[in-house]
C-alpha cells in the first residue's frame, strides 16, 4: 500500500516512517504542511522548513504546502492538499505521529474518510516514557527546538534527547505534569539523524529565541554530510541567544 506521512521533521513523524516500513507499508511521499504561525491547532511549526533535508537523507520524495488557514479551517486545507497528492502519487493511505491528541487524530481520520484513504497512527496510545525510550533505542538523534512548559527553560533549546534528558522529563512529569513525549505542546523536536538516513544533517548556525517563559530554536544554516564525517552534535551548533520579548 502506498502511504503518505504527515511529516513535521520531529521525532514522532520520523518514528512513524520507521514503524510503517517495519509493517511493510510503502512510504511513497512525505507531506509537510507549513502553517503561517506557531499558533496552528493542527500542524507543527518550529524548524519545519528543513524537512526537505530530512526527506533527501531518507531518499523519500516530499511535497510541501504553505498553509494560511487558521483554526478549524486548517482541516479543509489539509483535505485539499491531500486530495492533490492522492491523485498525483497514487496514494492509498495517510499516516500521522499522533500519540494522544484526540483533536488531531479525529480530524485526520475525517479527512482520510472523505477522500477514501486508510488512516494509520502507529504511535497512538503508547505510554510516553516507553515511546521516548523506544525512539532513542531505534537510533533517532533528536534535538529540542521549542519549549513551552514549566521546568523547561532556555537550556533545553538545542539539547539532545538522551537517557539523561528522558529521566529528567520523567521527573518533570511527576512534578509539573509535563508529558514526556511533548504531545501536549510542552516541547517540539527536530531529527538530524536516524537509522533511516543515508546522510546526516549538520546544523552549523542557529539562534535561540527566548520569550520569557517559552522559546524556540531557529535553524539558520544546515547541510547534509556523509555519516562519520561530521563533528559531534555539540560541535555543530553556533547558536546566538536573542530575548525577543
- pLDDT at res. 73: 83
* Alpha helix stretches (DSSP H) within 59-101: 73-89
- Residue bearing cell 486530495: 83
Query: Which pTM value belongs to this model?
Result: 0.91
DSSP character for 160?
A: B
Please give the C-alpha separations between residue 185 and each of 73, 125, 146, 154, 235, in angstroms, as whole numbers: 20, 16, 9, 16, 28
Domain 2-120 in CATH: superfamily?
Answer: HUPs (3.40.50.620)
The set of residues, in sequence order, having a beta carbon less than 8 Å from that of 87 and lying 6+ positions away, is none
- pLDDT at res. 161: 96
Please check whether the two domains, 2-120 and 140-242, share a CATH topology.
Answer: no
Answer yes or no: is pLDDT of 58 > 70: yes
CA gap 236, 167 in Å, rounded: 25
- Residue bearing cell 511493510: 24
pLDDT for 84-112, tens place per residue? 999 999 999 999 999 998 988 999 999 99
pLDDT for 143-152, tens place per residue? 999 999 999 9
Closest CA to 227 of 197, 204, 207, 199: 199
Answer yes or no: is pLDDT of 47 > 80: yes
State the SS3 of 189-240: EEEEECCCCCEEEEEEEEEEEECCCCEEEEEEEEEEEECCCCCCHHHHCCEE
- pLDDT at res. 240: 53
More confident residue, 43 or 203: 203
pLDDT for 193-229, tens place per residue? 999 999 999 998 999 999 989 999 999 999 999 987 6
Domain chopping of the chain, boundaries: 2-120, 140-242
Answer yes or no: is pLDDT of 71 > 90: no
State the SS3 of 97-129: CCCCCHHHHHHHHHHHHHHCCEEECCCCCCCHH
CB 169 within 8 A of CB 185: no
Answer yes or no: is pLDDT of 56 > 60: yes
CA gap 147, 145 in Å, rounded: 7
- pLDDT at res. 198: 95
Q: Considering the domain 140-242 in this protein, what is its CATH number?
A: 3.90.1490.10
Confidence at 235, pLDDT banded by 50, 70, 90: very low
What average pLDDT does the chain have?
Answer: 90
Confidence at 70, pLDDT banded by 50, 70, 90: confident
More confident residue, 231 or 102: 102
- pLDDT at res. 232: 45
Amino acid at each position: 500500500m502506498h502511504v503518505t506521512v504527515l511529516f513535521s521533521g520531529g521525532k514522532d513523524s520520523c518514528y512513524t516512517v520507521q514503524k510503517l516500513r517495519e509493517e511493510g507499508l510503502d512510504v511513497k511521499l512525505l507531506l509537510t504542511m507549513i502553517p503561517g504561525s506557531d499558533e496552528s491547532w493542527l500542524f507543527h511549526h518550529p524548524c519545519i522548513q528543513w524537512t526537505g533535508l530530512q526527506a533527501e537523507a531518507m531518499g523519500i520524495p516530499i511535497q510541501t504546502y504553505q498553509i494560511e488557514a487558521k483554526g478549524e479551517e486548517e482541516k479543509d486545507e489539509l483535505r485539499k492538499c491531500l486530495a492533490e497528492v492522492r491523485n498525483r502519487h497514487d496514494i492509498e493511505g495517510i499516516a500521522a505521529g499522533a500519540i494522544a491528541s484526540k483533536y488531531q487524530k479525529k480530524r485526520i481520520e475525517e479527512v482520510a474518510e472523505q477522500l477514501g484513504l486508510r488512516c494509520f497512527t502507529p504511535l497512538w496510545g503508547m505510554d510516553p516514557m516507553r515511546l521516548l525510550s523506544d525512539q532513542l533505542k531505534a537510533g533517532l538523534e533528536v534535538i529540542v527546538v521549542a519549549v513551552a512548559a514549566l521546568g523547561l527553560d532556555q537550556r533545553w533549546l538545542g539539547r539532545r534527547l538522551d537517557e539523561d534528558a528522558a529521566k529528567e522529563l520523567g521527573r518533570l512529569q511527576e512534578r509539573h505534569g509535563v508529558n514526556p513525549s511533548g504531545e501536549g505542546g510542552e516541547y517540539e523536536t527536530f531529527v538530524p539523524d536516524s537509522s533511516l538516513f543515508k546522510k546526516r544533517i549538520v546544523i552549523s548556525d542557529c539562534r535561540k529565541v527566548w520569550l520569557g517563559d517559552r522559546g524556540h530554536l531557529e535553524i539558520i544554516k544546515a547541510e547534509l554530510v556523509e555519516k562519520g564525517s561530521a563533528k559531534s552534535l555539540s560541535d555543530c551548533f553556533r547558536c546566538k541567544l536573542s530575548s525577543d520579548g
